[in-house]
Amino acid sequence: GFTNWNKRDFNQFIKANEKWGRDDIENIAREVEGKTPEEVIEYSAVFWERCNELQDIEKIMAQIERGEARIQRRISIKKALDTKIGRYKAPFHQLRISYGTNKGKNYTEEEDRFLICMLHKLGFDKENVYDELRQCIRNSPQFRFDWFLKSRTAMELQRRCNTLITLIERENMELEEKEKAEKKKRGPKPSLTQKRKLDGTPDGRGRKKKLKL
């Protein structure tokens, strides 16, 4: 048994699993105060082996899985933003948003472009990122007279960015499906053996091999 682990240690361990995901033992170990990494690793192994014996395991698992779902969501948002930004040489000038029918009347494309590019630059999952984004807007000469954007709260900016992220994810998915469909249409590239058969030449380059004398 782990007699030197009290309720507080247990709660810290569960919270750390929720925050980092059950596989990130390195960060979990850092979060449990007063325990060495070795102690946490040992405790974790026994916990996952015997957790079904706990009375409120369903509640605990739901808590950990909610955290892990948030981690996965962050990963997929980061990937979506990286993909979108990666399509442009100068995203702050060139980036376009595929609005469909969701343009909305309040924000201009120039404002949206800045929000997405700056969010990506700052790191969208950074703590207080929307307060930082708000500060960047206020410091930007580009929006010196844009009272609408300058007067948005961090919460309003977050809501707008969430809408834009959804649009970007949808656009990425549509482009991916389009690429897949085009690849399917083209069919697989013929292998060298097939090429040889097609053009009747031994090296598949459309000409007979010359004999070396």
193 vs 52: CA distance, rounded Å:
57
pLDDT, tens digit (0-9, with 9 covering 90-100), for 171-195: 999 998 988 888 877 777 666 666 6
Q: Binning pLDDT at 50, 70 and 90, where does residue 202 land?
A: low
Burial class (CB in 10 A: 0-12, 13-18, 19+), 104: exposed
CATH level 2 (architecture), domain 7-82: Orthogonal Bundle (1.10)
- In angstroms, rounded to a whole number, what is the distance separating the alpha carbons of residues 157 and 145? 18
Decide if pLDDT at 201 tops 80: no
* Residue 126 pLDDT greater than 80, yes or no: yes
Does the 91-179 domain belong in CATH 1.10.10.60? yes
Tell whether the model's pLDDT for residue 103 goes beyond 60.
Answer: yes
What proportion of the chain, given as a percentage, has pLDDT over 70? 87
Structure tokens at 128: 């207080």
CA 18, 81, 176, 109 dihedral sign is positive
39 has a pLDDT exceeding 70: yes
Which residue type sits at 110?
A: E
Sequence-separated (6 or more) residues with CB below 8 Å from residue 195: 204
Residue 210 is predicted with a pLDDT of: 55
The residues spanned by each domain of the chain are 7-82, 91-179
Give mean pLDDT, residues 54-79: 95
Distance CA 204, CA 198 (A): 8
CA distances from 61 to 1, 42, 45, 64 (A): 21, 19, 16, 5
Domains 7-82 and 91-179 alike in fold = yes
- Where are the alpha helices (H) located in 36-153, listed in sequence order? 37-50, 57-85, 91-94, 109-122, 129-139, 147-150
41-63 pLDDT, tens per residue?
A: 999 999 999 999 999 999 999 99
Please spell the DSSP secondary structure of 98-111, one letter per residue: --TT---SSS-HHH
Residue 24 near residue 40 (C-beta atoms within 8 A) = no
> Dihedrals φ, ψ of 194, to 5°?
-65, -40
Predicted model pTM = 0.74
What does the pLDDT average to over 3-21?
A: 94
* pLDDT over 60 (residue 72): yes
CB–CB of 98/130 below 8 Å?
A: no
Give the pLDDT score at 13: 97
Q: How many residues does the chain have?
A: 213
Please report the pLDDT score of residue 187 as a whole number. Answer: 73
Average pLDDT of the chain is 90
Higher pLDDT, 205 or 175: 175
